[in-house]
């Protein structure tokens, strides 16, 4: 049975032309590449998609363009989270109207709300549409972690169905999985194998932009209980993980890797990110 959000998800970059405008040809080529290499879920307008630099109009057009190109061949998960609940509600409703299959909702950043505030924010956004919601727990970026109690409480909402975990606390992840029906997705490429081995449903991968065939093989090997193959696939991915995530921001290096392979025409990023020297 295919998981609600898919299993082999990629945190898509947003292809851009020199000067920073979104490149529709680049977007089409990237979607085709990801589908052909085994993605069953595309996360659009997330961190790797440079979401803080996207206007609301650009964010909805991005979802619409990707959803049209995908044409039902994979799940389209739209990043809609901001530090403003009202803005997140607007983005959620716009993404639903544009054809998204699900929403990715980051813990509110910068404002540093209490856990009660996090719960209220997530419930309000989840109430705004009928789409399933994947929470995104990434305290290194937001400044606030979703606690175990908060995650279990939010699991009681009928549309909050999954977590993209970029916290890296395996003990907590296993505890929440045991105490709730939330599907876990590893959001830290360095830890893909241990998360899958601990029961995660799948991955939201940055390196999947250029190696989705291998992340698919990793998932399949763990599902089959073939840990020798899983370790071998994981070992083959580690140099790519180190290069793409250990030298600069993931969005920057993923675009470099895609441009070097001729999949997108340019490695342009928007300030304050800077394009990597090549």
List the catalytic residues.
Answer: 136, 164
Q: By three-state DSSP, how is residue 106 classified?
A: strand
> Are 188 and 215 spatial neighbours (Cβ–Cβ below 8 Å)?
no
From residue 55, alpha-carbon distances to 22, 62, 87, 233 in Å are: 11, 10, 11, 38
3-state secondary structure of 108: coil
CA angle in degrees (0–180, nearest 5) for 73-76-79:
170
CA angle 204, 176, 95 (to 5 degrees): 40
Q: Which residues contact 152 (CB under 8 A, 6 or more apart)?
A: 176, 179, 180
Taking the C-alpha atoms of residue 93 and residue 213, their distance in angstroms, rounded to an integer, is: 32
Q: Which residues contact 148 (CB under 8 A, 6 or more apart)?
A: 172, 175, 176, 179
Q: How many residues are recorded in the chain? A: 278
Cβ neighbours, 10 Å, residue 4: 15
Residue identified by tokens 């969005």 is 251
Task: Round to whole Å and give the CA distance between 259 and 245.
Answer: 16
């Amino acid at each position: 049975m295919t998981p609600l959000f898919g299993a082999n998800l990629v945190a898509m970059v947003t292809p851009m032309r020199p000067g920073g405008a979104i490149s529709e040809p680049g977007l089409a080529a990237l979607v085709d590449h990801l589908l052909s290499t085994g993605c069953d879920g595309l996360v659009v307008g997330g961190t790797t998609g440079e979401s803080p630099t996207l206007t609301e109009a650009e964010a909805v057009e991005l979802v619409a363009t990707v959803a049209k190109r995908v044409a039902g061949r994979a799940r389209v998960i739209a990043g809609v989270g901001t530090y403003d609940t009202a803005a997140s509600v607007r983005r959620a409703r716009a993404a639903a109207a544009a054809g998204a299959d699900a929403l990715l909702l980051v813990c509110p950043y910068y404002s540093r709300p209490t856990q009660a505030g996090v719960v209220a924010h997530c419930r309000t956004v989840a109430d705004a549409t009928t789409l399933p919601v994947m929470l995104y727990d990434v305290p290194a970026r937001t400044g606030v972690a979703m606690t175990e109690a908060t995650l279990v409480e939010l699991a009681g909402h009928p549309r909050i169905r999954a977590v993209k975990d970029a916290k890296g606390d395996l003990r907590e992840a296993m505890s929440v999985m045991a105490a709730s029906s939330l599907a876990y997705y590893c959001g830290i490429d360095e830890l893909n194998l241990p998360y899958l081995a601990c029961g995660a449903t799948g991955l939201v991968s940055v390196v999947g932009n250029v190696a989705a065939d291998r992340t698919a093989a990793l998932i399949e090997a763990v599902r089959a209980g073939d840990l020798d193959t899983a370790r071998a696939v994981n070992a083959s991915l580690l140099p790519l993980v180190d290069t793409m995530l250990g030298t600069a921001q993931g969005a920057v290096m993923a675009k470099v890797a895609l441009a070097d392979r001729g999949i997108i025409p340019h490695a342009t990023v928007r300030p304050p990110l800077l394009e990597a020297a090549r």
